[in-house]
Amino acid sequence: MRMRLAIVGGGVIGLTVAWRAADAGHHVTVHDPDPGRGSSWVAGGMLAPVTEGRPGEEAAQDLGSLSLERWPDFATELSAAAGRPAGLRTQGTLVVGLDPGDRSELDHLVQWLTARGRQVATLHADALRDAEPGLAPGIRRGLSVPGDLAVDNRALLGALQAAGERAGVVHVAAPVADPAALTALDADQIVLAAGARVADVLPGLPVRPVKGEIVRLHHRPGALPPPTHTVRALAHGRHVYLVPRDDGLVVGATQWETGHETTVTVGGVRDLLDDATAVLPGLAEFEFAEVIAGSRPMTPDGLPLIGRVDARTVLATGHGRNGILLAPITADAVLAELAGEPLPALAAAAPGRFA
Amino acid sequence: MRMRLAIVGGGVIGLTVAWRAADAGHHVTVHDPDPGRGSSWVAGGMLAPVTEGRPGEEAAQDLGSLSLERWPDFATELSAAAGRPAGLRTQGTLVVGLDPGDRSELDHLVQWLTARGRQVATLHADALRDAEPGLAPGIRRGLSVPGDLAVDNRALLGALQAAGERAGVVHVAAPVADPAALTALDADQIVLAAGARVADVLPGLPVRPVKGEIVRLHHRPGALPPPTHTVRALAHGRHVYLVPRDDGLVVGATQWETGHETTVTVGGVRDLLDDATAVLPGLAEFEFAEVIAGSRPMTPDGLPLIGRVDARTVLATGHGRNGILLAPITADAVLAELAGEPLPALAAAAPGRFA
């Protein structure tokens, strides 16, 4: 049955649902004053349920792994539909620690991941250097996690917009920023994909903003080549990740519980640059190309809110650090819900679980 | 005698000469595609001949001190002529060192400055903290140099443009970027104030670009107040300066001999932020508002090139780190030269001295 579907929010979740729904034959409008921007534009683009995982967040890891399984086909279909690359990189992830405390923490992570059946290998000296020659000389041990991938978030957003347009998605620039605007939407079904702002539209939803800053570095002539793998590091207890792009890399990410503000701080940029150049010293010669902050939509348990909340409204929000990773499975779940066939795998993300 | 005066370059030197010359009754054109920008827009704005000085550069210090004497009246006249503030700050400068080696270097600087009759006082613990409460707790000793001032470079450029327009200065956007364009200028006299690009126009001039990066920080609600003094520091052998602005401060400056390129580097930004927050830890909470690089026009001996080079051409360039400091005396010298009364004090800056 062809329905009129209004999607509130044009980030990676909203655009993925929009493309899939339009492709399935629905009449789709996306309501966002600035689609393809917001926190999806800021993101690092890691598809990394293994290395993002931590004890106590098993359900989030399992959901991430389910979505990652869908990613290669998703990227292939999207590229074909958009007529441009989806930006997927398949080189895998390395994880390193700078000091003995960091390495001890990684050892515990390996034990937990191995017990959960995840593919993790420890690399020493030469093997580590062969994988990523630019690592600081003092880093003599690391983890290889070949299954954790990455995607160029801006290429992805561009491809999603192109594929959506080809499938007939209509963009509406007027914001849907409060409950009255939501009620006024002329649609058979509504998908709420408003990220960290979703509680403005549906008050009481347990989604809060967690600011993250990222720095984008460009390669310069004469500088060492950028890394080919995603490199995650613990730097004296602080997490940093370095995600390759065609023209350099993205370095992230700070986490600040400072409400709806996306000011870039001196301390945040300082820490990112200190940690990144401690891991890959050659980055000091790269261009400091951009710094930007966004708001992750976080829930109390680190799992998103995906599912129906009333006869006309389906939630697809609260993806925290993992909106891009979870976009394929979220879109599958929303389309299944709209077709009246909810996905059992998504039970852990049911919107009513905090009630 | 009213003459038609063409000024090549609309940085602080060109704009200052333009305003003064138009005010003196000349018909003035300023040739620059983007006046008020370039390295003057990037500058920290220190008026600091005492703390910029170093042994072997006595003539540059003396020239700087002569120009600094002119600054208070210059700022007053400019503000009145422009109808807006010139941006002068009169709070003076503190100099600190982070480690014993840094402090030893500062002790030598004090000896040299004292021998040269410059006003320098050593402040200890409480007196230093009273002067600048945000200094890192480990900094227990510093120099107070009340005579070294600062100016908001962008307020200054805005005031110079406004005063120039009121005095009748005409702006020409077409670039004068090579000898042919210089020859083609329809003017009685030409002032070459093209900064680091001057050798493109007059090949063979001993002026080379030295890149500098600066970071601009804005105060945020809840953060400690910005410093009131200019704070210069030696941080493990590396120089950093922190120059107050109404909305925060400017942190500079790196020095790179990398030719005509103004790419901002990761290592440059990292060092500036590391050093700035080591001196004033509260800056970590400030907004990282802007980073930008410019090219200082450096000469082999650190003194500018001011004076006549042929019957129609007067040089006013090569000011290195001190273009803003030296703007008043440079304009006085150029106007005296145009009137046929060269300033004896400018002999050290004579363009022919390298021939």
Read off the pTM: 0.95
Q: Do A270 and B273 touch (CB under 8 A)?
A: yes
Interface check A284 vs B, CB under 8 A? yes
Q: Which of A135, A134, A133, A109 lies closest to A122 in space, CA to CA?
A: A109
The token pair at B279 is 């001196």
Q: How far apart are CA A28 and CA B149, in angstroms?
A: 62
Q: Do A266 and B274 touch (CB under 8 A)?
A: no
User: How many C-beta atoms lie closer than 10 Å to residue A104's C-beta?
Assistant: 12
pLDDT band for position A1 (50/70/90)? confident
Q: How far apart are CA B330 and CA B68, in angstroms?
A: 12
Do A213 and A254 touch, CB atoms closer than 8 A?
Answer: yes
Q: How far apart are CA A119 and CA B223, in angstroms?
A: 45
Distance of CA B328 to the CA centre of its chain: 11
Partners of B29 in the beta sheet?
A: B6, B170
Do A272 and A44 touch, CB atoms closer than 8 A?
Answer: no
Q: How far apart are CA A317 and CA A206, in angstroms?
A: 10
Write the DSSP symbol of residue B307.
E
Q: How far apart are CA B174 and CA B155, in angstroms?
A: 25
Interface check A301 vs B, CB under 8 A? no
Give chain A positions within 8 Å (CB) of B265. 220, 284-288
**Residue appearing with tokens 């006299």:** B189
| CB neighbour list of residue B284: distance below 8 Å, 6 or more residues apart | A265, A266, A267, A270, B277
Write the DSSP symbol of residue A306.
E
End-to-end CA distance of chain A: 32
Please compute the mean of the pLDDT values over residues A26-49 and round it to a whole number: 97
pLDDT: is B354 or B281 the higher one?
Answer: B281
The token pair at A307 is 């599912």
Interface check B256 vs A, CB under 8 A? no
Reported ipTM: 0.94
Give chain A positions within 8 Å (CB) of B269. 269, 273, 288
- Go through B184-201 and write b for each residue having 16 or more CB atoms within 10 A of its CB, e for each that does not: ebebebbbbbbbbbbbbb
Which of B265, B285, B291 is opposite residue A265, by nearest beta carbon? B285
Do B289 and B223 touch, CB atoms closer than 8 A?
Answer: no
Give all strands of the β-sheet with B170-172 in edge-to-edge order: B170-172, B27-31, B4-8, B189-192, B313-317, B305-310
Please compute the mean of the pLDDT values over residues B190-197 and round it to a whole number: 96
Closest residue on chain B to A291 (Cα): B288
Q: How far apart are CA B95 and CA B106, in angstroms?
A: 8
Interface check A265 vs B, CB under 8 A? yes
Choose, out of A288, A291, A292, the residue to mutate when testing the contact with B (most B CBs < 10 Å): A288
Closest residue on chain B to A281 (Cα): B267
Q: Which of A37, A345, A340, A347 lies closest to A189 in space, CA to CA?
A: A340
pLDDT band for position B1 (50/70/90)? confident
Q: Give residue B345's pLDDT.
A: 86
Q: How far apart are CA A216 and CA A271, in angstroms?
A: 14
Q: Which of B296, B344, B326 lies closest to B74 in space, CA to CA?
A: B326
- Average of per-residue pLDDT values in chain B: 96
In tens, the pLDDT along A284-307 reads: 999 999 999 999 999 999 999 999
Q: How far apart are CA B309 and CA B179, in angstroms?
A: 14
Q: Which of B53, B51, B49 lies closest to B65 in space, CA to CA?
A: B49
Give chain A positions within 8 Å (CB) of B272. none
The token pair at B198 is 């001057």
Do B20 and B77 touch, CB atoms closer than 8 A?
Answer: no
Give chain B positions within 8 Å (CB) of A268. 288
Q: How far apart are CA A34 and CA A157, in angstroms?
A: 12
Q: Give residue A355's pLDDT.
A: 78
Q: Give residue A56's pLDDT.
A: 92
pLDDT band for position A312 (50/70/90)? very high
What is the widest separation between alpha-carbon atoms in chain A? 62
Full 3-state SS string of A182-244: HHCCCCCEEEECCHHHHHHHCCCCCCEEEEEEEEEEECCCCCCCCCCCEEEEEECCEEEEEEE
Write down all domains in chain B, each with its CATH number in brackets.
4-85+152-206+300-354 (3.50.50.60), 93-146+209-298 (3.30.9.10)
Q: How far apart are CA B139 and CA B124, in angstroms?
A: 9
pLDDT > 90: what percent of chain A?
A: 95
Amino acid at A115: A
Q: Give residue B262's pLDDT.
A: 93
Please compute the mean of the pLDDT values over residues B232-238 and round it to a whole number: 96
Contacts 24+ apart (CB under 8 A), B109-115: B109/B54, B109/B143, B110/B143, B112/B53, B112/B54, B112/B55, B113/B50, B113/B53
Do B52 and B25 touch, CB atoms closer than 8 A?
Answer: no
pLDDT band for position A344 (50/70/90)? confident
- Go through B316-353 and write b for each residue having 16 or more CB atoms within 10 A of its CB, e for each that does not: bbbbbbbbbbbbbbbbbbbbebbeeebbeebeebbbee
Please give the backbone phi and psi of residue A89, each rounded to the nearest 5 degrees, phi first: -120, 140
pLDDT band for position B76 (50/70/90)? very high
Which of A266, A276, A283 is opposite residue B288, by nearest beta carbon? A266
Interface check A292 vs B, CB under 8 A? no
Q: Give residue A254's pLDDT.
A: 87
Whether B10 shows a pLDDT value over 80: the answer reads: yes
pLDDT band for position B26 (50/70/90)? very high
Write the DSSP symbol of residue A339.
T
Do B211 and B195 touch, CB atoms closer than 8 A?
Answer: no
**Residue appearing with tokens 């400030």:** B286
Amino acid at B173: A
Which sign, positive or negative, has the C-alpha torsion B239, B304, B206, B214?
positive
Give chain A positions within 8 Å (CB) of B263. 220, 287
Interface check A306 vs B, CB under 8 A? no
In tens, the pLDDT along A3-20 reads: 999 999 999 999 999 999
Q: Give residue A21's pLDDT.
A: 98
Q: How far apart are CA A179 and CA A5, in angstroms?
A: 17
In tens, the pLDDT along B135-157 reads: 999 999 999 999 999 999 999 99
Q: Do A284 and B265 touch (CB under 8 A)?
A: yes
Please compute the mean of the pLDDT values over residues B66-77 and round it to a whole number: 98
pLDDT band for position B342 (50/70/90)? confident
Cα–Cα distances (Å) from B24 to A137, B105, B189, B255, B331, in that order, read 64, 46, 15, 37, 12
Do A67 and A46 touch, CB atoms closer than 8 A?
Answer: no
Q: Give residue B271's pLDDT.
A: 97
Interface check B291 vs A, CB under 8 A? yes
